[in-house]
Structure 1
C-alpha cells in the first residue's frame, strides 16, 4: 500500500484550507461527516446527479441537505460529474480537491461502462481543478485494478482507474484505505441504484494529481539538436556544443550532484585532490589525434551521429559510408580525454584529479540502461613499482566512500521512520571488485559491482603514458547508476524528470531514498513484424534507439519474439514486442498507439525493411 506520507483519507483532507467539491453524492451523509471534521475550515460544495424534487422525498438525504446548508456548505442538484464545466454554478471556479466516492453507472453496468464513466469524469475534472489540486476516487475492493488491491483482479476485469485517469493527464500519487471509521455517520447507499447499502470493507481511495505534459527527455532532446545540425550539413563546433550544455545541467540539489559532492568530500580527506572543470567537447571525432587511450567502459557502444535517415539506412545495408558526419560521435567516456589531462604542464603525479561530466552510449531500451549519464572520473599518477599497492588503496577508499554514503542515507531513513524490507536490502548491498582480462592499454582492469550492477571500472594504464617510472590509475564511475542503486530509483528516466515532486525530495540537500510520485503507471504492449531485405543487416541497437526517440523515451522494454528466414526469398522475418510506460507522466493507451504507428513509419524510412 502506497501512502506518500499521508495517513488516511480524512487526515489528508484536513491538512490545509481547501475549496472542496463532492460529486455523485447519494444521501449526502459523507458530505456531512466531512463538514463536521473540517469545523468550517474548508469551503465545501456537495452535489448529486438527481434533481432536487427527487432528493427532497428521501428523508435521510433531505435532512443531510438541510444540515449542510446550516453549516455553510453549498448544495447543488442535477450536477453531471462528467460535465462539471457545463454547470454554470461550477464553471467559473477552481477546486483544490474533487471527491467522487464509489462511482457507478447503476444497475448491472459492466466494467467497460464504468471505465467510460471514470474517463469522462477525469476529463471533466481537468477543466475545474486547480493546478496543484487533486482528485479523490474511492472504489470498492478490487475495482481499481492496481497492486494496492487485495486481492488483485485480473486487469481486463477491473476498472483500470489509473489508465482511465491518464487519458485526462492525471497520475496516481497516493492510495490509502477508505477511512470509514472516521466517517462514522456515513451511510453508503446505491446498490444497483436502490437505497440499499453495499460493502465498503477493503475499499481504497485513489488520489490523482496533474501530470506534466509528455515531452522528449532532455538527453534525447540534445542528441536531436546535434543531429539536426548535421542534417543542415553543419559540423558542430565546440562552441555550438557548449551552448547546449545548459540543456542538461541539473539542479544544484540533484541527487547525482549531491553524490558527486559527497564522494569528493570523502576522498579529499585521504589523498591530495584537484577538481577539474569539464570544458571538453561532447562531440568527438573518430579521426582525431586525441582519440582516447583507454575506454574505461568496455561495453560502451559509441553514439555515432548520422545526418539523415538515408545515411542510417546505408549503414544498415552493410555499405561503407564516407559521409564526414559518420565519423563524429558523442563522447562515450571521460577517459577519452585522459591524454589531454596528463599532458597538461601542471599535471602532478601523486595528486588525484577528478572530472565529472556527461557521457553518451547506444544501449538497449531498459529501465537500467541509460543512453546518457554523469560519469565520475579519477586520474592518479603513482610510481610504477607501487601501482598494485596504490590500486588496492584506491579500491578500499572507494568501498569506504560508498559505505559512508550508505550510512548517511540509512540514518536519514531511520530518522524519518521509512526503513523497510526494500531499504534494508539496499543498505546491506556491498561494493565488490572483479578482475577482468587485460587489454592493450591496461595492465590491470577491475569492474566495480554494486549488487547486480556494474557501476564503474578501475584501470592501471600501461607504462609510458606519463613517464617510464610513473604509472597511472584511472577510475570511472556511473553516478546515475550509483544514485539509482543507493536511493532505490528503479528507472533512469526519473533522474531527468522536471517534475517538482522529484526535485523537492532532495532540496535539503541530502541524499535520501526516493518516494514514487506516480504509482502503478499503466503499460501498453504492441508488436511489430517486418521482413529485412535480402543482403541487408538489421541493426538491433539502432532500432532500440530509434524507438526511444519516436516514443519520447516512454519505452520500458523491447524483446525479440520471433526470427526466421525465408529460404526462397532470402529475407529474414523479425517480430518485436514493445512495452510502453512512462514512470513520471500520464501515458494513455491512445497515445501509445499513436507512437506505435509512428514507429512503423520510421522503421520503413530508416531501415531496409518491409512491414508485415
Structure 2
C-alpha cells in the first residue's frame, strides 16, 4: 500500500480505508470453505452406549481417535455369530478389552431394559448407526414399515436410559428408501425432537468400516457403505407442549421442524 502524503485530504483517507475494509469483508464472506471440519457429537467424558455395533470398528475409532473412554458397545449377534459374520471384529474387540471397555452380545435394540448392564446406568449418548432390520422382504412398503417399527421401539427403549440432558444419535443413509422412514416424525411420537442434524463423515472416524447387516459377503465387489452419503440426527427430549428449555432454564415455544441442519 502506498504511504499517504501530507497533501492527501483526511476525508479521502477515511473513504479509502472504509472501501478497503468493505472489500476485505466481502471477500471473506464469499470465500467458500475448502476444508470444513466434520461435526463430532461426542465428548471424551461422555458415557456412551453403542447399539448394533457390527464389527466394533466404530467403537474402536471413538476410543483410539476421539478419546472416548467410557464406552459400552453392543451388537445383536452372539459372540459366535459375530465371529462368523465379521472375522475382522476380533482385533477391534481385543483393543477395546485392553482399554477396559465393555462389550455386550445378543443385545436387542428394542429391548434394552432386558439387560441389567444397560438399564442400571444412565447414558449421555445412546448411538445407533445405520439401523436396519435386514432383508426381511423385497416389498418396499413392508420393508419401510419394519424399519419404522424398529426405530420406534428403539426410541422408546432408549429414552428412559438418558441423563436429563442426554441425546439419542441415529445415522441413516440418505435417499430412498431411508427418507421414507420419516425418522423425525417417528421420534416426535415418542417424545423426542431433532436438536440438529448434519452430514455423517466416515473419514472423521479412522479405521471405521461400515458393517453390513448380513455380514461380509464374498464377491460383493468391494462394497463400502461408509462411502455412501449419510446424515446423523441428534435427538433431544421434547418438553411437554412442544416447548424446549433455554440455557437459562426458561421455556420457549419452538417449531417442531426447525431443527438446525448443517451440511458442514
Same fold (TM over 0.5): yes
Q: What is residue 130 of structure 2 aligned with on the other side? A: 102
Q: What is residue 61 of structure 1 aligned with on the other side? A: 89
Matches within 5 A, 1:407-422: none
Matches within 5 A, 1:5-44: 8-10=38-40, 12-14=41-43, 17-39=45-67, 41-44=68-71
**How far did residue 130 of structure 1 move?**
1.4
> Which structure has the greater CA radius of gyration?
1
| 1:489-520: CA deviation from partner (whole Å, max 9, x where unpaired) | xxxxxxxx4x32375799xxxxxxx9x78545
Matches within 5 A, 1:233-272: none
Calculate the TM-score normalised by the size of structure 1.
0.32
Matches within 5 A, 1:114-513: 114-142=147-175, 158-190=180-212, 193-196=214-217, 197-200=223-226, 201-214=228-241, 497=243, 499-501=244-246
**Cα distance change of structure 1 residues 143 and 162 upon mapping to structure 2, 3 Å threshold:** farther
Matched, 1:111 2:144: yes
| 1:423-474: CA deviation from partner (whole Å, max 9, x where unpaired) | xxxxxxxxxxxxxxxxxxxxxxxxxxxxxxxxxxxxxxxxxxxxxxxxxxxx
The answer as to whether partners of 1:20 and 1:97 remain within 8 angstroms in 2 is: yes
**Cα distance change of structure 1 residues 170 and 61 upon mapping to structure 2, 3 Å threshold:** same
**How far did residue 24 of structure 1 move?**
0.4
The answer as to whether partners of 2:111 and 2:157 remain within 8 angstroms in 1 is: yes
Number of matched pairs: 210
The answer as to whether partners of 1:82 and 1:121 remain within 8 angstroms in 2 is: yes
The answer as to whether partners of 1:175 and 1:205 remain within 8 angstroms in 2 is: yes
SS at match of 2:108: coil
The answer as to whether partners of 1:85 and 1:127 remain within 8 angstroms in 2 is: no
The answer as to whether partners of 1:178 and 1:203 remain within 8 angstroms in 2 is: yes
Q: What is residue 77 of structure 2 aligned with on the other side? A: 50
* Counterpart Cα distance in 1 of 2:126 and 2:42: 11
**How far did residue 179 of structure 1 move?**
2.0
* Counterpart Cα distance in 1 of 2:81 and 2:121: 27
* Counterpart Cα distance in 1 of 2:233 and 2:108: 21
* Counterpart Cα distance in 1 of 2:136 and 2:224: 14
**How far did residue 186 of structure 1 move?**
0.9
The structure with higher relative contact order (CA 8 Å, sep 6+) is 2
Which stretches in structure 2 are left out of the alignment for 5+ residues?
A: 1-36, 138-142, 218-222, 260-264
* Counterpart Cα distance in 2 of 1:185 and 1:37: 9
**Cα distance change of structure 1 residues 517 and 38 upon mapping to structure 2, 3 Å threshold:** farther
* Counterpart Cα distance in 1 of 2:98 and 2:70: 13
Which stretches in structure 1 are left out of the alignment for 5+ residues?
A: 1-6, 146-152, 216-496, 507-513, 522-612
Calculate the TM-score normalised by the size of structure 2.
0.71
